[in-house]
Each structure stands twice: as structure tokens, then as C-alpha cells.
A and B are shown apart, each in its own frame.
Chain A
Amino acid sequence: MSEKIPMERHNYDVLVIGAGGAGLRAAVEAREAGLRVAIICKSLFGKAHTVMAEGGIAASMGNVNDKDGWKVHFRDTMRGGKFLNHYRMAELHAKESPDRVWELELWGALFDRTGEGKISQRNFGGHEYPRLAHVGDRTGLELIRTMQQKIVSMQQQDKKDHGDAESYLKVFAEVTITEVLKENGKVVGAYGYKRENGNELLFESPAVILATGGVGKTFKITSNSWEGTGDGHALALKAGGNLVDMEFLQFHPTGMVWPPSVRGILVTESVRGEGGVLTNTKGERFMFKYIPDVFKDKYADNEAEADRWYLDQDNNRRPPELLPRDEVARAINAEVKAGRGSPHGGVFLDVSKRIPADVIKKRLPSMWHQFYELAGVDITKEPMEVGPTCHYVMGGVEVDPDTAAAVGVAGLFAAGEVAGGMHGSNRLGGNSLSDLLVFGRRAGAGAADYVKNSQPVKVSEASIRDAAEKIAAPFKRTGGENPYTLHQELQEITHNLVGIIRTRSELQDAIEKIAAIRKRIEEVSVSGNRLFNPGFHLSFDLDNMLLVAESTAKSAIVREESRGGHTRDDFPAMDPKWRSQNNIASFNGKEVVVKQQNLPKMPNELFDLFDIHELEKYLSKEELPNNAGVRS
């Protein structure tokens, strides 16, 4: 393209990349601190992947069972993550999530209610008490709409006070950021382009908050939308940040498996929370066979007790369908491999025999709708076919828990799925929406504090030229490969070699194949012009997904154990040696390099929340502080 591409120049105090729950909550906080904030939306405002969250927001409000509290929630989160969580993040999350849910009500959210008129809370995998605030099975939509409307209300106030609704808080929809810019080691802004006209955008801003969500599109079968291409993960790596524990991916146990066009679409865990059971093709309720030792005293080993639990939770153990997601996904995988799968390679999930049709339609309306319209299955009458789908990445940008500041990059922050550490090796359902709000708010506050103590920034002409050249590159090349074809190839590699069950030889193969595909991705060429061109856009996404895939494969090959969302066929057990180690991935400009780092040491008062016998299952003797943990 010979014509000069117009460039818009913008100046803000804080730039938030991502307009899901975390990004919008961060923007609200930074604006309330008096700053001028820009929000970058990859899609239209209000379409972020947060809308897909179905089950609910985990917060220990104790509305349904008053025994609940932050300490119980903290324990459940650490257990779910197999003690690889950053303890401080899990602690802040457990303590602050009730306030984050309650404040949504003051912004207009309408949660389902208990008989007393409080926010209703439902059961979910790994949560000891009913804990998930919800709106039917469309909780994420409620969250995103509430945040969207909160932003609008702040803009209306700015219009009253300053005459212009967008003077302090502006949403840039359908914009893609290709680079976080730094000068003298500090963040000074970001560069990107706008799809509706192809114009380039320069943001000068001393603080950039990454809230870009997940990486699912790196994999073939995923519940993620087109946006989940690891943009923030890659932007952080390229800006000099670290990614922690990228080997941990959550394969949600229940995605749709049939028809092929809906393969991977999420079937909410609420189906099991409301009483749905998993059976194989022989009609066996197989989950009883898959209760791991560490969970034996919390989960029922027979159907009678599991069924009683729905009515009396104090005197019965939970049904094993409600084990953490990693356990259920592995169990389904094993059943299918053993030849006991459903006709289309999944297992059966059934609510129809346990819950009346009208209750199913009321509590799980979008599931009913989804199966009826897309698969021709009436879930009030027949079972669903389900199987694992790539859903969530536990790994992400290494951050300071209290401020969400990215380690090693002054001015960069990260919150939500793009940040690592909070969920350890496996995330509990419901802990994502609360994570978005708790750490979105902290990132907004952290960035605001940082900006108030920083100098105005200026992006150099050389940086601008460099960033613009990179954007123009795919059109300058000719005869390169089709980006869609390369995307499919990358997905095949990750699906086949870095999937649910991994081995050394396959991971080695993956690393080599990823290195080989990098050269081809760097030579991609695209057709058409810049105007709303998905092929052009995919060429940038591909680059991001490649870095994610490389980080995941290289982290997975060194972690020689199985834990949470990382299962090694050749190292099938948890290894306490690895319990104390985070994998830290960084980028040297040519390739991803992974090294190990000790987990931060949990203070004694948090150790004391656990029974010593439980701690001994996870931690080595040397790690246990003297007299820590309660002896029962």
C-alpha cells in the first residue's frame, strides 16, 4: 500500500486493553481516582467473552449457608489449584469478592434471590458451600451489562460536569493493539489500528492495563470466542514481562460434542450443581471411580449418599460430579478412551430424570435453548452428550498481587484471565467472575497510584515508525501462506501434542513443529485492504497464539509431574518438589525461555487455616513451617 495511512494520536492517563469484566472494572476504578481513561474493545462494547460465563460469581456471602466465609473460600481455592496458587492472590480474592458482588447491585445488577430476598447462591464444583451468585445461567451477561451501564452512567456524569461524555472515559470499539510501547524501560503507551477504517492509533499513556482474557483459540476444541487469542499474554512477553505457569490449561469437562459445528461450546457446570449426573454408555455413574485420595473425605463414594447431599449437606459428602474441573475432565477422557463413551465421543450428562422440566427451564434456560436450537436435544427429556473443551488458562502474566503490576515492566498491569497465579494449577468454577472484579479493581487502583507518581510520557518517532511498519507488513508480502490455514495447523499441533494428556516425546515434537510454523507465520500474506479485514487481523492473532503455544509447550515439558490442568502420562503423580516451583516464561526476541522460580512462602496464619494432614498431602516436610496447620 503506497498511500499514507492516517494516524490518530490520543493521550490518556490509563489505557485499558480489554473490555470484559476485568477491563471495565479497572476502568471504573481508575476513573473514580480522577484519571482520564481509554478502554480498548477488541469487538463491540458489551460483547466480551465474559458474557459466556454462565454459572455464577463465587463470593462467600453466606446467604444460603451461613457457615461460609472468606477462610472457607480461600481453602477451597487453594485445594482446587492444588496449592500452586499465589497465596496472596487467593487471600485477597476470597476476602474481597463479597464486596465486589454487592457493589454490582448498587450499579443495577439483578441477581436471583433467596426466600429472604438476599442474593441466591448455588453449589458448584470444589466449593464447600453454595457460593455462586447467579442470574439463571446467564450470570456473565448480567455482569458485563452492569459494568457497561456503569461506564455509561459515569460518562453521563462527565457530560454534566465537563460538557463532553467522553472527556474522561472513552471506549474505542473494534480496535486491535499490536504493541505496548516502552521508552527507557518504562511503558509509554500502545499502538494499534481501528477495523472500521483501517486507521492507526497511537495512545500515549504512562500506564497500560492488560485485561485481554484467554488463549482458547490456540486450541482446536474450545469454548472461547474469536477474541481468545492470547493477545495480552503476547503483548506482555514482548514488552519484557513474564508468564507464570503457562502449562496449566483448564479443559472444562463439559463442552458440547455434537453436532460438529458446536463442538466445544460450553455446557455450564450449573447443570451438575443443580443435580445433573454423568454416565457412560453402560449407564454407570462413573465418577465414583475417580475420586483422588486428596479429596476422599469430602466426596461421597456411593450414589445414596451423593443423592442425600442435595437435601442435607451437613451430614453427607458431596457427589463426585462436583469434583474440581481437572478431575472430572480427566475422568471423562479416561471413560471415552476405555471405549465407554457416547456415540459422538463424549459421555452423557443428564438432568432430565432428576429435575422437573419446568425447573430445568427456569434454572438453566440458556442451556435448554442452546441444546434445543443447536443440537435438537430437549434436555428436559433426554441426556446431553458432553466432553472436555479448552476453556481457561490458569497461566498468565506474573503480577504483584496487591497492585496487579506486571513484574519487571514499569507501568504495565494485568488483571483477569490474562494474569497468572490466582488459580494455581486449576481454577474453580465461579472464581473467574470474582477474579475479574477483585483484580480488575486492584489493577485500576494500582495503575492510578502509579500514574499519580509518574511523569508525562512521550513516544519517540522511531517507535511509531517501527510499530506502523509491523502493521503494514502483511500487505507488503506476496505469495505467503493463508493465515486461516496456518491457524488450523497450529490448532492441530496444540490439540494433538499439548492437549489434556501430555508426554515428553509429544511435547518435544510440538516444540519443534511450533518453531517450524513460526517461520511460515512470519511470512503470511493477506488479500484485500485494511478495511474490516478478518484475514489481516488473523495475521496478528496468529503471532500471539504462536507465542502462547510455545510458552505452554515449553513449560509443560519441564514440569515432570501431573497437577491440575497439566497431566503427564509419563509422570502421572503430583510431586511435592514441583509444588514449590513456578515456571516463568520470558521472550528473548527470538524464542520463549522457561526457568523455575520458588513460589512465595505462605504466612503461618494462612497455613493454620488447614488441617496438617491435608497440608502433608501437598507439601514436602521441608516446606511445612514448625507447628503450622491445625492438628485434628
Chain B
Amino acid sequence: MIKLRIWRGDARDGALKDVEVEANEGEVVLDVIHRVQATQMGDLAVRWNCKAGKCGSCSMEINGKPRLACMTQVANFEEGETITVTPLRAFPVIKDLVTDVSFNYKKAMEVDSFTPPVGLKAGEVRMAQVDVERSQEFRKCIECFLCQDTCHVIRDHEENKKSFAGPRFFIRLAELDMHPLDILKNRKQKAQAEHGLGMCNITKCCTEVCPEHIKITDNAIIPMKERVVDVKYDPVRWLGSKIRKREGIV
């Protein structure tokens, strides 16, 4: 048996509830939450889909840390330790462990879509592996929104949400900026002017919580910040740094 402390409630109010539940070898936190659901709290709300770390649905805070419940082993906790599970703090609660993440879908709508050259024909595209790999790293994103949840710019600052897209969309902007077929020229400038890139002060919290181990800060945010500065002040240096960066990024 293990001890769980689960936040239960809705948008109006709620509280932590203590439960004890059976746990078996190799189980993850999502398994024991499901067992609570099946045996003690039939209406306990939790999102999940793949249970293999591939869909990014079961995001929650486990002992205060943003995590995927399906990838968090119960065995990682001390014996007798109470595991506390709470909803993502950066987003409004709907019920129990489920939050309203529509903020992220609104921000996705604000990013200018992929824009290939006019007249590009299906089947005629040629790209080198080395050129697609930079954007591929960012396309590994499973949209768990843990990076958004942990980012201190919005975590406890609702007022910043309007002008700040968050790490998930910085990697989306970087992905498009580095996409070999994308022809929109001003993505970095827009990242700065419209999506709040400048508000990020590169504390790397987003990188630390990313379950896909995407180097959000080093490979997306910092290169965009550098280039947006360079573009502003010195086009020749910008060109030089772009060439060096290409060699440096695996």
C-alpha cells in the first residue's frame, strides 16, 4: 500500500484528499491513480491516453514538480513517503487533476503557419538529413505543456499570458525558422515583438521538465534571441553567427 494525497475539487474550490492504495512492482503514478479511480473515487478526473510518454496527456504536478504521471515510477519515491498529486498550476482547474489548457491552443493559433514557396510541387522536395534534423528536434514535442506550466513568466503571473507565448511556442517558432522549406523571413522578429521572447530570461526550467529532452533553451530560445539582436544591429555578424551555429548544432 502507498499513500497518495490527491487534489480534488473544481474551479470554485477544492482540497487535498488522503488515500491509501495498493501498488505493484514497476507501476507508475498513473497506475495507482487509475486504481484509486476504479476502487475508491469513480469520478476522479484525470487525463491520459497512451500511457507510454508519447501523447503528453497525463501532465500534472507530482510532489510539486511538473511531470507526466505515466513516466513517473512509484519506486522512485521513498518507502512510506506520501506522493502528492495536484493539477498544473499555470492553468485554471476544471476538475481534480484536469486543467483548462486552452491557453496553449490560442497561442498555437497566433503563430504564423508553415509557409512553403509558391509552386513547390509534391514529390519534388529534396532536403538533406542534416538540415531537417534541427527542426526535427522541436517536432518531437508531445505538447504536454509541462514547459508552459513551469515557466515562471506565466506560472504565477496571469497578467503575462496575453503577451507571452511560452517555451512550447518558442520551439515552434524556432522549428519554422529553421525549417528548410519555410520562406517567412521575419519569424525571429515576430517572436520578439509579438510572442514575448524577450520576457524569457533563460533560467532553463522548461528544458529541465521536458520529457522529450528537447534542449528548449539552448537550441531554440538562445539562438533566436542572439539572432534577433544581431539582425537588429549587425547583419554581417548575424550571417557569420548563423553559419557557425549550423555547424555547432547536432
Residues of A within 8 A of B (CB): 43-47, 49, 51-52, 61, 98-99, 102-103, 105-108, 110-113, 116-118, 120, 135-136, 138, 141-142, 145, 149, 152-153, 155-156, 165, 196, 225-227, 258-262, 265-266, 366, 369-370, 373-375, 482-485, 488, 526-529, 531-536
A/B interface sample: 9 pairs, CB < 8 A: A52-B52, A99-B122, A108-B181, A141-B139, A156-B109, A225-B49, A374-B28, A484-B38, A534-B46
Q: Which residues of A contact B98 (CB under 8 A)?
A: 532
Q: For the complex, what is the distance from the CA of A83 to the CA of B141, rounded to whole Å? A: 40
Choose, from B129-137, B197-205, B218-226, B227-235, the stretch at the interface: B129-137
B1 at the interface (CB under 8 A from A): no
Q: For the complex, what is the distance from the CA of A65 to the CA of B112, rounded to whole Å? A: 37
B140 at the interface (CB under 8 A from A): yes
Which of A51, A138, A261 gathers the greatest number of chain B CB atoms within 10 Å?
A: A261
Closest to A197 in B: B94
Q: Whole-angstrom distance from the CB of A25 to the nearest CB of chain B?
A: 15
> Interface majority SS on B: helix, strand, loop or mixed?
loop
Chain B 11-28 residues near chain A, CB threshold 8 A: 24-28
Q: Whole-angstrom distance from the CB of A241 to the nearest CB of chain B?
A: 27
Q: For the complex, what is the distance from the CA of A113 to the CA of B132, rounded to whole Å? A: 8
Q: Whole-angstrom distance from the CB of B189 to the nearest CB of chain A?
A: 19
B243 at the interface (CB under 8 A from A): no
Indicate the size class of the contact surface on chain B: 35 or more
In the A-B complex, the 5 residue pairs with the closest CB atoms = A259-B26, A528-B43, A153-B113, A535-B42, A117-B126
Evaluate contact between B54 and A51: CB separation under 8 angstroms: yes
Q: For the complex, what is the distance from the CA of A136 to the CA of B176, rounded to whole Å? A: 20
Choose, from B78-86, B100-108, B146-154, B156-164, the stretch at the interface: B100-108
Q: Whole-angstrom distance from the CB of B176 to the nearest CB of chain A?
A: 8
Evaluate contact between B50 and A51: CB separation under 8 angstroms: yes
Evaluate contact between A47 and B55: CB separation under 8 angstroms: yes
Evaluate contact between B132 and A149: CB separation under 8 angstroms: no
Closest to A54 in B: B54
Evaluate contact between A370 and B139: CB separation under 8 angstroms: no
Evaluate contact between B37 and A374: CB separation under 8 angstroms: no
Contact of B129 among A61, A113, A533 (CB under 8 A): A113
Q: Which residues of A contact B27 (CB under 8 A)?
A: 259-261
Q: Which residues of A contact B54 (CB under 8 A)?
A: 51-52, 138, 141, 366
Given contacts A482-B38, A536-B43, 19 further A-B contacts (CB under 8 A): A44-B101, A47-B49, A52-B52, A52-B54, A61-B123, A98-B123, A106-B116, A108-B113, A156-B112, A165-B109, A259-B24, A260-B27, A261-B24, A374-B73, A483-B42, A484-B37, A484-B38, A488-B38, A534-B42
Contact of A225 among B50, B94, B108, B114 (CB under 8 A): B50
Contact of A261 among B28, B95, B126 (CB under 8 A): B28
Q: Which residues of A contact B108 (CB under 8 A)?
A: 152
Q: Which residues of A contact B126 (CB under 8 A)?
A: 116-118
Q: For the complex, what is the distance from the CA of A225 to the CA of B132, rounded to whole Å? A: 30
B183 at the interface (CB under 8 A from A): no
Closest to A140 in B: B54
Q: Which residues of A contact B181 (CB under 8 A)?
A: 105, 108
Q: For the complex, what is the distance from the CA of A165 to the CA of B109, rounded to whole Å? A: 9
Evaluate contact between B43 and A526: CB separation under 8 angstroms: yes
